[in-house]
Amino acid sequence: MAFPLFFFVAKHLTDRYMGLSVVILAAGQGTRMRSVLPKVLHKLADKPLLEHVIASAKSLGADDIHVVYGHGGDAVPTTLAHCDVDWIKQQEQLGTGHAVAQAIPHIPAGRQVLILYGDVPLTSVDTLKKLIELGQQSGFGLLTISLKDSTGYGRIIRDESGTVVRIVEHKDATETERQIKEVNTGILAVSRENLALWLEQLDNNNSQGEYYLTDIIAMAVADGIKINTASPATEHEVLGINNKRQLASLERSYQLEEAKKLMDAGVGLRDPARLDIRGNVSCGRDVSIDINVVFEGQVEIAENVTIGPNCLIINSRIEAGANVLANTIIESAVVGKNSNVGPFARIRPETVLAESSRIGNFVEIKKAKIGVGSKVNHLSYVGDSVVGNDVNIGAGTITCNYDGANKHLTEIGDGVFVGSDTQLVAPVKIGAGATIGAGSTITKEVDAGSLALSRSKQVSKSGWKRPKKNKN
The Cα angle at residue 79 between residues 73 and 85, in degrees rounded to 5: 90
Alpha carbons 151 and 416: distance in angstroms, whole number:
71
| 378 in active site | yes
- Residue 406: beta bridge partners? none
- Which one-letter amino acid corresponds to residue 69? Y
Alpha carbons 63 and 17: distance in angstroms, whole number:
12
Question: Of residues 71, 170, 378, 408, which has the active-site annotation?
Answer: 378
Q: Which of 237, 236, 313 is nearest to 279 (CA)?
A: 313
Peptide linkage before 467 cis (omega within 30 of 0): no
Parallel/antiparallel/unpaired status of strands 64-69 and 86-89 = parallel
Q: Which residues contact 273 (CB under 8 A, 6 or more apart)?
A: 252, 255, 256, 259
Alpha carbons 25 and 4: distance in angstroms, whole number:
44
Residues with a known catalytic role: 378
